[in-house]
């Protein structure tokens, strides 16, 4: 099918973009990579009156590493973030996760910020931003604000962004201390949306004992939530911790839904197994960090 008609705007600067958004609000939608929005337009599940195309805002096409954080501008494609060696050096979790986000052809166009602004409960980057305690920066004519991931995602496909706000960047902090981080997921086919996916960060103390473990999920609830798994494994040696117990703790706290792809019971089972596996791998990474 074809999209319904819309008024098209292609601002050349961020200032122009927020001015247009303010003018057409609340009838405007930002068009970034189009990899989530255009399918909705083609199927006529969405028919916004105004589209504000941000593909000319080259000032936002950046991936920046500042010591202990990686900031991604709104026009950086998934592929740009994935292939950024400086970002990989400080935060390998980004590349490791992006390899699971759709197929390379989709990643060539889709933006990392767009996938966070889209807030799909199956979108890996939403979980990673929440897991790391990251932030989103929003601009409008009213000013700029930076919002913690935990407050940014307010439900499935919904965020706290107002209709006149542009998400200009997101910032992923590098976890502190001796940490390892792993993303793992099960999908029908590599690159498809995951039936269940999890990212786990494990922190070790100087004696290589577990000091902390936390996890976040996709396809396991309406919005990304972080679970603290430390109680199940605190104080154990990194290679001797009861990660299965951490998996059980996680599965007990998640309340997935049934859908055409999987039953809730199968999802819970996957969460238990994948959490244990990812946590063990993360601990081994932390030990050699």
Smallest gap from Cβ 114 to ligand FAD, in A, equals 2
In the three-class reduction of DSSP (H, G, I as helix; E, B as strand; rest coil), residue 135 is classed as strand
Phi-psi bin for 3: left (phi > 0), alpha (psi -120 to 50), beta? beta
Q: Does 115 bind ligand FAD (CB under 6 A)?
A: yes
Residue (158 or 263) nearer to ligand FAD, CB: 158
**Binding of ligand FAD at residue 197 (CB under 6 A)?**
no
Q: In the complex, what is the shortest distance from the CB of residue 139 to ligand FAD, in angstroms, rounded to a whole number?
A: 9
How many CB atoms neighbour CB 246 within 10 A?
28
Buried b or exposed e, range 91-107, using 16+ CB within 10 angstroms: bebbbbbbebbbeeebb
32 binds, among another protein, ligand FAD, none (CB under 5 to 8 A by kind): ligand FAD
Contact call for residue 274 and ligand FAD (CB under 6 A): no
Residues 6+ apart with CB under 8 A from 111: 32, 33, 74, 75, 76, 77, 78
Name the one range near another protein by CB under 8 A: 12-20, 48-56, 141-149, 155-163: 48-56
Task: Name which of 256, 277, 276 is nearest 268 in CA terms.
Answer: 256
Name which of 5 and 143 has its Cβ closer to another protein. 5
Strand partners, 217: 198
Considering only 9, 35, 93, 270, the residue that binds ligand FAD (CB under 6 A) is: 35
**Residue 193 or 217: which CB sits closer to ligand FAD?**
193
Q: Does 180 sit near ligand FAD (CB under 6 A)?
A: no
Structure tokens at 181: 């981080």
Q: Does 62 bind another protein (CB under 8 A)?
A: no
Q: Beta-carbon neighbour count of residue 242 at 10 Å?
A: 14
* Residue 39 binds to another protein (criterion: CB under 8 A): yes
Binding site for another protein (CB under 8 A): 1-8, 10, 31, 34-35, 38-39, 41-43, 49, 51, 53, 55, 79, 102-106, 108-109, 189-191
């Amino acid at each position: 099918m074809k999209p319904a008609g819309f008024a098209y705007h292609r601002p050349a600067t961020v200032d122009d973009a927020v001015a247009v958004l303010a003018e057409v609000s609340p009838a405007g939608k930002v068009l970034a990579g189009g990899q989530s929005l255009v399918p909705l337009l083609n199927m006529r599940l969405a028919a916004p009156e105004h589209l504000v195309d941000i593909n000319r805002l080259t000032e936002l096409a950046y991936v920046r590493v500042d010591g202990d954080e990686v900031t991604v501008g709104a026009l950086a494609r998934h592929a740009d973030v994935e292939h950024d060696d400086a970002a990989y050096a400080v935060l390998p979790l980004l590349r490791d996760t992006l390899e699971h986000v759709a197929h390379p052809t989709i990643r060539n166009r889709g933006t990392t910020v767009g996938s966070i602004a889209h807030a799909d409960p199956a979108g890996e980057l939403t979980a990673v931003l929440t897991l790391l305690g990251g932030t989103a920066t929003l601009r409008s004519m009213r000013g700029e604000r930076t919002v913690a991931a935990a407050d940014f995602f307010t439900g499935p496909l919904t965020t706290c962004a107002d209709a006149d706000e542009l998400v200009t960047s997101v910032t992923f902090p590098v976890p502190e201390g001796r940490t390892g981080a792993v993303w793992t997921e099960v999908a029908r086919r590599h690159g498809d949306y995951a039936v269940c996916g999890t990212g786990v960060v494990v922190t070790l103390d100087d004696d290589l004992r577990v000091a902390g473990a936390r996890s976040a999920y996709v396809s396991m609830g309406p919005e990304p939530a972080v679970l603290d798994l430390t109680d199940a494994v605190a104080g154990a040696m990194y290679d001797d911790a009861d990660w299965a117990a951490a998996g059980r703790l996680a599965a007990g706290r998640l309340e997935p839904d049934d859908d055409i792809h999987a039953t809730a019971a199968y999802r819970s089972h996957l969460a238990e197994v994948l959490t244990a596996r990812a946590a063990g791998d993360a601990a081994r990474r932390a030990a050699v960090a």
